[in-house]
Amino acid sequence: MANGTVFSHFPTKYDLLTAGIQERVACVLKEASASDTQSEPSERLVHYARYLYRYYLDNREFAIEIFRELIWQPERIEAQIVEFQARLYSKQPEFDVLKSSVLMDLYFMVLIKGLNDSSSTADSMIKTLERKVALVA
């Protein structure tokens, strides 16, 4: 591969990292989908978070680098968030915009706190998410 070929497709390091993580997250979501039997959006969120939190913790430094950028540029993942919300509500007769937004807020706040705490485990993060989701369910 010629020098600079990768960066002709990915102008910045962030773009390269984002492409890699999006591809891997799609695989994680596909794996989680295979065992998704829940119907309530809050239960589905916890189900998918089990897989996603584990992935992000297994790739902590990589995830921190990505989220460092995304926090200040949310439009870069807006499409993925909308798609994820639709997935959570796909077994419901109607989409609850406010509750969906609150569920996403909880998901990301637990994720960010977990990534910043080196003692966090996927299980401890899931327990925290479950307790918080129960307050709004």
Consecutive H or E run containing 49: helix 41-58
Query: In this structure, is residue 58 part of a structural domain?
Result: yes
Query: In this structure, is residue 2 part of a structural domain?
Result: no
Phi, psi of 39 (to 5 degrees): -120, -30
- CATH of residue 69's domain is 1.10.357
pTM for this prediction: 0.86
pLDDT in tens, 48-104: 999 999 999 999 998 998 888 888 888 888 999 999 999 999 999 999 999 999 999
The structural domain count of the chain equals 1
pLDDT of residue 2 exceeding 90: no
Helix-helix angle 78-88:97-116, to 10 degrees: 120
Q: What is the pLDDT of residue 1?
A: 44
**What is the distance between the alpha carbons of residues 136 and 107, in angstroms, rounded to a whole number?**
13
Query: In this structure, is residue 1 part of a structural domain?
Result: no
Query: In this structure, is residue 4 part of a structural domain?
Result: no
**Residue 68 domain boundaries:** 9-136
pLDDT in tens, 119-132: 999 999 999 999 99
Q: What is the largest CA-CA distance in the chain?
A: 54
